[in-house]
Structure 1
Amino acid sequence: MTGFGRVLLSEWTKIRSVRSTLWTLATALVVTAALGTLISLLVRTTYEDLSRADRLTFDPTATSFAGIALGQLAMIAYGVLVVSGEYSTGMIRASLAAVPRRGVLMTAKVAVATALALPVGLATGFLTFFLGQAALGGHRTDLGEPGVLRAVSGAGLYLGLIALFAMGVAWALRSPMLSFGVLMPFFFLISSILANVSATEKIGDYLPDQAGSRIMRVVDDGERPYGPWGGLTIMLVWIAAALLAGFLVLRKRDA
């Protein structure tokens, strides 16, 4: 096994030995699928009450992902715990002593954590879609319709990328409490407020979650100045910036 292979194996051992990190992935799947199904059932029973304009822009695919806002919080928790757990326990000192090349250590952790988050995200996306469409009944769509497969796959990709963004922030802040204190209010409150207030909506449109979630829509509601792939690109820029900030802190500061 190569040197990098041993580092990968070490990072895999760290992640799977901490139950809380794996439980957060399971929580993301269960919460997203369950809440999406419940909201889809509600929409099914109240569909006739929708206005003509709302019916014209009704997106059954996006409706099934209505619970993803809570599911992404579990993914954020996963990303934070994977990184900051070493700082809170002091294990980061042993990790840096064993792997002094900090770029190698960070790359290995990102690779292993993403290899877990992305499959779970994709499984969540497809499970949530199928349950949501079953709940919508006659208002459902299917994977064969234009744009639907892209949106469903994109939902899973979005969840995995949210975890990656959280990892970058956790490296930059080096504290689980501080990371949660910044990320949870930002994604749960601040981002939505900025995106839905007329004075700040142009700023909100370019925040990572608002831009990235555009990949899950099939019907264009005209609320964003970019398409699905443009939104995902904006999200990737945020992730790259977060990881770069995390790497600079990891490289320059002692454990």
Structure 2
Amino acid sequence: MASSETAATPSGPARGPDSPAASGGAAPAAVLAPARGGGTAAAIRAEWTKVRTLRSTLALLVGTFLASIGLALLSGVSVGNALAADNGRVRPDFHPVDSGFNIVWYTQLGLVAFGVLLISGEFGSGMIRVSLAAVPRRARLYLAKAGVCAAVTLPLAALTVVLSFLIDQAGLGEYGVGVDEPGVLRGMLLGAVYLTLIALLAFGMATAVRSTAVALGALYVFLFALSPLSQAVPGLKEAARYLPDKAGIQALKVGADADPALGPWGGILVVAGWTALALLAGWFAFRRREV
């Protein structure tokens, strides 16, 4: 008798609500064989192999890192020059710690794209059927993809946040601060956590809508238009602090822009709540829909 882990045998595909046969697709037995005995570890290895062998994914991650570092240098030097010239172009409540973490706002755009493409590309190409043939348990496949998303994003986010902060402070020159300044180490930690959570949120949303264009369009419109505009509307300003991007960025603030009511840890918990909702929405859609 075939086990519940078996996706297919030489005589034909296994049948079940989560099997590729039930979804209208199948994969060769040679592709399925490695997954039959590997379980979760094999699923994670397969997803990791996809990430590291796709040139577009690697280019996106490397480009995000390099762009963040370049913007940090540009920001630090330009603000440092403006402060030295005392030309009034810098806000009176300027805080160097906040300046060092402003790059997180731009870094998240690349990591949002990574979270979306990690799953939406397979829906668009039909490769999700092959993935389900190799890993017929949808919960296992979904968790493997989410786990790889977090495992790739967290170290990249940590490296980017730390280096961009240090480079920004170097560009500020005499106006910069060191890592021993209050709020810096906490900001580095929460910045990496925030970027990881926002990538997972994008992954969950992309799974729910199954479209690269829809997921990226909705997320970018939200980040660039709806969320900023919500703070300009008197009736929405108070509620806007609980939006995922506002709460996450507030978790990094230490100057006049810091939200004392929410606090840094409260802000990151708000983001975690939004991310959990997105992942649950993605899972329910992935479990119920045909592919």
* Fold shared per TM-score above 0.5: yes
**1:164-183 deviation line (CA, Å, top 9, x unaligned):** 11001001101111111211
For the pair 1:173 / 2:215, whether they are aligned, the reply is no
Aligned length: 253
Identity %: 39
Give 2:66's aligned residue: 30
C-alpha separation in 1, matches of 2:140 and 2:124 = 21
State the 1:2 CA deviation: 4.1
Contact in 1 for aligned 2:98/2:252 (Cα 8 Å): yes
Equivalent residue, structure 1, for 2:7 = none
Amino acid at match of 2:158: L
Structure 1 equivalent of residue 254 of structure 2: 218
2:226 pairs, out of 185, 190, 209, with 190
Structure with higher Rg: it is: 2
Of the three residues 107, 117, 121, the one matched with 2:153 is: 117
SS in structure 2 opposite 1:218?
Answer: coil
Residue 135 of structure 1: CA displacement?
A: 0.6
Rounded to whole Å, the distance in 2 between the matches of 1:50 and 1:197 is: 28
Q: Verify: 1:205 aligned to 2:241, yes or no.
A: yes
Is contact 1:191-1:204 (8 Å) kept? yes
CA-CA distance at 1:136 after TM superposition: 0.8
Conserved in 1, the CA contact under 8 Å of 2:68 and 2:160? yes
Deviation sequence 1:174-230 (CA, Å, 0-9, x none)? 111111121111112211121344332123211101101122222353556310010
Contact 1:206 1:234 in 2 (8 A): yes
**Counterpart residue number, 1:102:** 138
Distance, in Å, in 1 between the alignment partners of 2:102 and 2:201 is 21
Q: How does 1:234-245 map to 2 (within 5 A)?
A: 234-245=270-281
Q: How does 1:51-62 map to 2 (within 5 A)?
A: 54-55=91-92, 57-62=93-98
- Which amino acid is the alignment partner of residue 237 of structure 1? G
Most deviating of 74-83 and 211-220: 211-220
SS of residue in 2 equivalent to 1:241: helix
- Is the contact made by 1:59 and 1:217 (CA closer than 8 Å) also made in structure 2? no
Look up the equivalent residue of 2:142 and give its one-letter code.
M
The equivalent residue for 1:126 is 162
- For residues 134 and 110 of structure 1, what CA distance do their matches in structure 2 show? 36
User: Helix, strand or coil for the counterpart of 2:94?
Assistant: coil
Is 1:9 aligned to 2:45, yes or no?
A: yes
* TM-score normalised per structure 2: 0.81
C-alpha distance after superposition, 1:109-148 (max 9, x if no partner) = 1111211111000000011011000011111111112221
CA contact (8 A) 2:73 2:171 kept: yes
Give, in whole Å, the separation in 2 of the partners of 1:195 and 1:107. 35
- 1:161 paired to 2:197: yes
Is the 8 Å Cα contact of residues 40 and 133 (structure 1) preserved in structure 2?
yes
DSSP-derived class of the 1:250 partner:
helix
**Aligned-pair distance for 1:8?**
0.8
Q: Unmatched 5+ residue regions in structure 2?
A: 1-36
| 2:185 paired residue among 141, 149, 159 | 149
